[in-house]
Amino acid sequence: MEQLFTEISPQPIAAASLGQVYQARLIPNGKLVAVKVQRPGVRVAMEFDLFILRKLTDFAKTLLKLNTDLTECC
> What's the total number of domains in the chain?
2
pLDDT of residue 72: 61
Q: Are residues 27 and 47 in the same domain?
A: no
Do 45 and 68 share a structural domain? yes
Domain span including residue 60:
40-74
Residue 61 pLDDT exceeds 60: yes
Q: What percent of the chain has pLDDT over 90?
A: 49
> Model pTM greater than 0.95?
no
Whether 2 and 34 map to the same domain: the answer is yes
List all residues 6 or more positions away from 42 whose beta carbon is below 8 Å from its beta carbon: 18, 19
The reply to whether 14 and 26 lie within a common domain is yes
Rounded distance between C-alpha atoms, residue 19 and residue 55, angstroms: 27
Would the pLDDT of 67 be above 80? Answer: no
- Whether residues 25 and 45 share a domain: the answer is no
35 shares a domain with 2: yes
